[in-house]
Amino acid sequence: MPPNYEICAIRYGHLERTAGHNFIGGDEHDGPMPLDYYVWTIRGPGVCCVLDTGFDAAMGAARGRELVQTVEAGLESVDIRAEQVGDVIVSHMHYDHAGNHELFPGARYHLQTEEMSFCTGSAMCHAIMRAPYEARDVQAMVGRLFAGRVVYHDGTAELEPGITLHRVGGHTRGLQVVRVHTQRGWVVLASDAAHFYANWQERRPFPIVDNVAAYLDAFTTIEALASSPQHVIPGHDPQVLVRYPAARAGLANAVRVDLDPNTGGS
């Protein structure tokens, strides 16, 4: 049996918006449906890795997103010093997942070959496709590549026993999700394969998408990887903070998703 890992979901950003922005074709009710922005930490015996690196204050301001706390502060709140992180997994290269370039000076970066092909290839000739990407994030990754700090993966890969990466595509061509063994079974950190529970459970895609059919097919993969639907963690849903217990007593912006969801909550 692989070891059990602790997983924290750390909220660092927020955006007020209505539901019509969160589904292809809009939403007939169009009530409030804000987005939260997260990074995730995965810790076990001799292992401390981070999934996604978020955006910084300047990028949040430039894009009109609220920075609830810096990613660095969010990590410190669960006793992780960024400079000690050895492995960073990048689910995909969108600006809200690939910023804060100087935060992890000692880390190797793990991403799918296909994602770098996508965000440096002909798809970026289209303004709507490159809009969620930042050239400086891509440039920073190329810099790391030439510093020998990037590990490319093609499809499924094992990072550590009980931590595997799985390319699902759909939202972006090289999007990967992470499957982690925990005390409650196999948890899947879906990142932007499912912004919200509703994108996944109602099969209503988020409007930023490379390939709609591949986006929908990703849910079959994710459901097969997770021990149950309760083991799938969406990438931007404020409900994650509501459903899971605080990572530390009194912490409002970090929860443990390797633990069972709260009972009696919403």
Residues that bind Zn ion (CB under 5 A): 94, 96, 192
Q: Are 257 and 9 in contact (CB under 8 A)?
A: yes
For the bound state, the minimum distance from the C-beta of residue 133 to Zn ion, rounded and expressed in Å, comes to 9
Q: Are 200 and 229 in contact (CB under 8 A)?
A: no
For the bound state, the minimum distance from the C-beta of residue 89 to Zn ion, rounded and expressed in Å, comes to 14
Q: Which is nearer to Zn ion, 63 or 108 (CB)?
A: 63
Q: Which is nearer to Zn ion, 24 or 83 (CB)?
A: 24
Count other Cβ atoms within 10 Å, centred on residue 107. Answer: 21
Q: Are 65 and 9 in contact (CB under 8 A)?
A: no
Q: Which is nearer to Zn ion, 181 or 253 (CB)?
A: 253
Distance CA 131, CA 151 (A): 25
Residue in the structure block whose two tokens are 């409002």: 252
Count other Cβ atoms within 10 Å, centred on residue 64. Answer: 8
For the bound state, the minimum distance from the C-beta of residue 43 to Zn ion, rounded and expressed in Å, comes to 23
For the bound state, the minimum distance from the C-beta of residue 46 to Zn ion, rounded and expressed in Å, comes to 30
Q: Which is nearer to Zn ion, 44 or 253 (CB)?
A: 253
Distance CA 217, CA 140 (A): 31
For the bound state, the minimum distance from the C-beta of residue 79 to Zn ion, rounded and expressed in Å, comes to 25
Q: Which is nearer to Zn ion, 95 or 244 (CB)?
A: 95
Sign, CA dihedral 125-39-142-136, equals positive
Distance CA 86, CA 49 (A): 6
